[in-house]
Structure 1
Amino acid sequence: MPERTAQRARPGDTPDPAPAAAEPAARPPSQAPPPTPAAVYAVSAVSALGGLLFGYDTGIISGALLHLRDDLHLTSRGQEIVVSVILLGAMAGALVSGRLAARYGRRAVVIGVAVVFAAGAAAAAVAAGVGTLIAARFVLGLAVGGASGMVPVYIAELAPAHVRGRLMVLFQLMVAIGQLVAYLCGWALADSGGWRTMFALAVIPAVALGVGMLFLPESPRWLVGNGRSGDARAVLTRLRPAGHDVERELAEIADAAGGGASGSLRDLRQRWVRPALLVAVGIAAFSQLTGINAIVYYAPTILVDAGFGDSAALLTGIGIGVMLVIAGVTGAVAVDRVGRRRTMLWFLPGSAVAMAVLALAFVGPVDSPAQRWTVIVALFAYILCNGIGMQAVVWLIGPEILPLGVRGPATGLATVTLWGFDLLIALSALTAIKAVGQSGTFLFYALMNVTCIAFVAAKVPETRGRSLESIERALRRGGSFRKALDET
């Protein structure tokens, strides 16, 4: 580690803000941003294959479950365990990956994630029984947690500020594409036993991710923090447009790296870190409490139990996958043009209304064409609005606002929170539907959407177009994080 001249802050202290002169001059509105080197898009595209695997391995269970429950004689509780164990693994993977990334680097962790993805997919495909399938899906969960925790951080730390939003949302778009591919495979391989092929197909993108990452650079911010400024300079020169002031960016990164955080979990208790940690953990929790994965995991099962045929339920699942992809593309544009905060405030109300309509549609038996079309349209509208307003932002906001010194473990904690609430939803969704019905369950999710809107309005700052270092300086000023960032 390089020698740091900055005095280490004690827990609870608020470090002095960096000089305002370090803030880059604002670009006139009429001046177009500099062209982004193709290498930046290549880095983002290859690393975002982790998102494709994440989406495929979490989404494939939706179609596979219709035949798994017959082939392996699974009860409702057994189905919830098979679905949920991947999320338990994801919690462990997210927690471990943050610590490993702080020590060994972001790139090394993503390569390891690819290996674990391939091993877990192969094991699930050849599982001889329920026990071995559960074990294989736990291994897959380790990879999902590692990918969701580290791929967004890796992209955030390599991308220029003016395209960082859309490149990070590329990860969520790849998650959506992975889920769509999973739904298509579930429909195409609908015969009994086809679930083995569904699981095995994930080996292909896992190998592509591992091989592709071998040719990509390490995060320049991790390199600076570990005394390798020369390597960081070479990476930035490769990934920044001609004429970019690499030395100035290096100086800003070095200043943030010397800001009094060592990358340990105890640093998360520092008072000045708490506002960013609250936002990252809060958004992670609401991304699940608003109901998205109850729909993604169980939509075909819910629809079949409500009287839809198997084919209609699976085709509706494909439609949900299409909506997720559309939401990913729209979100990628919106976060950089409209802003992160405004995107949430514009689309989350639509998510709440659509979920409320879905709750009303299930008040009585779904036995008429009008009711069934209401269910399908409300499902699609919910997925679209929640996908743009929440899912496009959830993997973006944490790596942006969390300070460099604790970004690895803090992002890991936020990701553990996300997977923890995802696990809660996965374990309780079918049980809740049996206890209070579809209507009561979906009404709860609608209320969570409303609560999320209030949280965003009160706590979430706008980070569009700002460097990671300028966001950290606003956080260090103390007081209201949202107002401090708005004033810079």
Structure 2
Amino acid sequence: MTQATGAPGAQHSALPADLPGPHSRRLGLIAVVATFGGLLFGYDTGVINGALAPMKEDLGLTAFTEGFVVSILIFGAAIGALVGGRLSDRYGRRHNILMLAAIFAVGTIGCVLSPSWQILALFRFVLGLAVGGASATVPVYLAEVSPYERRGSLVTRNEVMIVSGQFAAFVINAIIFQLWGEHESVWRFMLLVAVAPAILLFVGMLRMPESPRWLSSQGRDPEALAVLRQVRSPQRAEAEMAEVQALAEEEKLAQTGGWADLAVPWVRRLLLVGIGLGVFQQFTGINSIMYYGSQLLEEAGFSADAAILGNTLFGLASVVGISVGILVMNKVNRRTMLLGGFGLTTSFHLLVGLAALLMPDNSVKPYALLVFAVLFVFSMQGTIGPLVWLLLAEIFPLKIRSFAMGVCVFCLWMANAGVAFGFPPVVSSIGIAPTFFIFAGLGILALVFIATSVPETRGVTLEQFEDSFKTTHA
């Protein structure tokens, strides 16, 4: 593949500047409400970390059923991303988020009341459907309501909420365990907390607008313009609406909308780019740290208590990393940040591996491994983590945006599952050093992929990027 760049930093004189005003506050409120879906995503994937031990004792889980209960959510998320994307294209982004909020609540209550591991696994799968659906829908919704000048920071707020949800799960689990740790069903209290943000998401989205770009794709232009007037200055709303309408007409003539579009070379190319981004994001091994951080630290030489404490640093590094990333997201080109991010994570993979291989087994070695692992998490969550979700929300044509997002996120979740299943036995069989050298090798492949294939999207509207990429690769 040749390098695919897409007019980075280009500005369209046809679009007036999006000046601050009441519409800015409205847009900020929409972002806050919609990203409760990301908070639920993070909490439901992180809560199992602290809930698993009392859950295992209460329900009598074996090694097999324990792994099944943990992993079933990942497979549900893969399916939820694929199906959720199609439903979002058909019925609308807002409609999909409302439905997902209800599924989050039902899945959470079902898990809390589960009398056996079989019922628990069933409702964990239901939660997975909601997690996957949210991962495919919320970034697209945010991208489509945002002006291109603020799209990076607004879409990335969803990733902030995901890592904040994971960190909150670690902290809430610790608090609940301190208060009711002697109770055999303490894990049910940990899971129950997720009902509150699910209710807030549902109630909040009732008052939020539909995506203007989706409305236009359905021929509902007056409604689309009304939404744009809520979140843009009057002059900007009119100009942007004209651009959305023009592209929607082109897509109707092209009959875009699903698998048939893969026969179009430039659409197929974008889908392959999106799949590659999702898979390489997971092949950084970030979720090997987020799922098995305490086990990794014990393997490195920490005591069990110290490993649990050290594990909270991974959550803190995630939150700090994503916060720093947001500050520079709209100032640095996407490709530059991705290349820098993979360069950093690959370097820290090598440092973890070299420290594990070459340092003598003394009291310093575990702390060296902890520092390098924390720096890896910080680097990944400040660059690759949010950028991949942002690019997936930006690069696809309007009419298949959620469908293509669903396919890519399905592949992302399957890569997640592969890392989740493979990490413990690989570390057990070959050790920490060779495992992280494997991650470093995958990071080098990712750098080649980004340099040769990933387009630039910063500084242009979704419609401008699509038109430019289509012209270049038709």
Would the TM-score normalized by the shorter structure come out above 0.5?
Answer: yes
Alignment of 1:49-64 (within 5 A): 49-64=36-51
Q: Verify the 8 A CA contact 1:327 1:392 in the aligned structure 2.
A: no
2-structure distance, mates of 1:80, 1:379:
25
Gaps of 5+ in 1: 1-21, 482-488
Deviations 1:407-466 (A, max 9, x none): 121011011011111111112221222222222222211221222122111111221121
2-structure distance, mates of 1:392, 1:91:
19
- What root-mean-square deviation, in Å, do the aligned CA atoms of Structure 1 and Structure 2 show? 2.2
Counterpart pick for 1:187 among 165, 174, 184? 174
2:26 maps to 1:39? yes
Please identify, of 147-156 and 117-126, the stretch whose mean Cα deviation from structure 2 is larger: 117-126
Gaps of 5+ in 2: 1-9
The alignment-based identity, stated in percent, is: 37
Alignment of 1:297-336 (within 5 A): 297-336=291-330
2:438 maps to 1:444? yes
Per-residue deviation at 1:186? 2.7
2-structure distance, mates of 1:442, 1:169:
27
Q: Verify the 8 A CA contact 2:14 2:239 in the aligned structure 1.
A: no
- Residue matched to 1:402: 396
Counterpart pick for 2:238 among 247, 259, 273? 247
- Residue matched to 1:16: none
Which letter maps to 1:58?
T
2:287 maps to 1:293? yes
Distance 1:67 1:308, change over 3 A: farther
- Residue matched to 1:216: 208
Q: Verify the 8 A CA contact 2:283 2:415 in the aligned structure 1.
A: yes
2-structure distance, mates of 1:79, 1:442:
26
What's the TM-score once normalised by structure 1's chain length?
0.88
Alignment of 1:263-302 (within 5 A): 263-302=257-296
Distance 1:304 1:126, change over 3 A: farther
2:342 maps to 1:348? yes
Deviations 1:350-383 (A, max 9, x none): 1111122222333389953211111210111010
Counterpart pick for 1:454 among 445, 448, 471? 448
Which letter maps to 1:189?
I
Which letter maps to 1:203?
V
Q: Verify the 8 A CA contact 2:297 2:366 in the aligned structure 1.
A: no
Per-residue deviation at 1:306? 4.5
Q: Verify the 8 A CA contact 1:307 1:366 in the aligned structure 2.
A: no
Please identify, of 188-197 and 98-107, the stretch whose mean Cα deviation from structure 2 is larger: 188-197
Distance 1:23 1:269, change over 3 A: farther
- Residue matched to 1:5: none
Which letter maps to 2:19?
P
Deviations 1:88-112 (A, max 9, x none): 0011111111111111100000001
2:196 maps to 1:204? yes
Per-residue deviation at 1:63? 2.1
Q: Secondary structure at the match of 2:431?
A: helix
2:134 maps to 1:132? no
Q: Secondary structure at the match of 2:204?
A: helix
Distance 1:330 1:269, change over 3 A: farther
Per-residue deviation at 1:187? 2.3
Per-residue deviation at 1:182? 0.9
Q: Verify the 8 A CA contact 2:18 2:233 in the aligned structure 1.
A: no
Per-residue deviation at 1:79? 3.8
- Residue matched to 1:485: none
Q: Secondary structure at the match of 1:217?
A: coil
Which letter maps to 1:181?
A
Deviations 1:235-257 (A, max 9, x none): 0011102432x233222112222
Q: Verify the 8 A CA contact 1:66 1:301 in the aligned structure 2.
A: no
Q: Verify the 8 A CA contact 1:183 1:314 in the aligned structure 2.
A: no
Q: Secondary structure at the match of 1:423?
A: helix
Per-residue deviation at 1:155? 0.5
2:73 maps to 1:86? yes
What's the TM-score once normalised by structure 2's chain length?
0.91
Distance 1:352 1:77, change over 3 A: farther
2-structure distance, mates of 1:442, 1:396:
27
Per-residue deviation at 1:174? 0.5
Q: Secondary structure at the match of 2:149?
A: helix
2-structure distance, mates of 1:448, 1:194:
40
Deviations 1:200-254 (A, max 9, x none): 111110110011000000001111111111101100011102432x233222112
